[in-house]
Amino acid sequence: MATKTQKGAEAGTEAQGDETAVEAAQVLEEDAGQADATEEEAEVAVEEEAAEDEAGEPEAKAPSGVGQGAGAVVSAALGLVSLSGGWIGTVAGARQQLVGQLRTSSTASVARQIKAVYGDAWHSTALWAGLFALAALLTGVVVLARPAFGAPGRPQAPWIRSVAWAGVSLGVIGLVLAVLKYSDALLGLPSTS
């Protein structure tokens, strides 16, 4: 009996050992499965981050051209102000006319009174128009030259170039007219003789 008991105990021990081995193998397989799942999740996360980086990089590097467009519009607007006179030129002309009236005595010659009251105001208006024209010209040139210094490989939008060229053209015309008005070559003061 002792042998049967020993054999039964040995068989029970073997069965327990087999069950333990099977359980250990299952635990190892689960751990390996979890490790594989964790590795797959990590790979997917890395791929998603790389895709986000690739998608995000062109937007961050590519300038939108908003500043250049705004500069072109400002250039054209300044050119129009230089041709139409603008509020500042009107106020400066009126102020100069008032100063001419205050500084000119009633006994001064007619030519002197006309020059002091109207001529200086006309020159003041022409000066402000010239300053606006110069600002339009410089702003337009800067917008047109910007791609050469900023992003040479990226072409400038056609509408930006068109509006900037309009600003440059209006600036040149305004500057020429301002010089002609200031020098009395265009609409000079009437002769008093």
Instruction: Using CB atoms within 10 Å of the CB of residue 51, give its burial: 0 to 12 exposed, 13 to 18 middle, 19+ buried.
Output: exposed
Torsion angle in degrees (nearest 10) through CA of 95, 97, 103, 106: -150
Domain-wise residue ranges, the chain: 1-62, 66-182
Using one digit for the tens of pLDDT, what is the confidence trace for 42-78?
A: 666 666 666 565 555 444 555 667 788 899 999 999 9
Using one digit for the tens of pLDDT, what is the confidence trace for 148-185?
A: 676 666 777 888 889 999 999 999 999 999 999 888 88
Mean pLDDT score, 23-45: 61
How far is 85 from 36, CA to CA, in rounded Å?
Answer: 77
Count of Cβ atoms closer than 10 Å to residue 175 Cβ: 20
Percent share of the chain, pLDDT over 70: 63
Count of Cβ atoms closer than 10 Å to residue 14 Cβ: 10
Residues 72-89: b if buried by 16+ CB within 10 A, e if exposed: bbbbbbbbbbbbeebeeb
Helix axes 86-103, 66-84, angle to 10 degrees: 40
CB 82 within 8 A of CB 170: yes
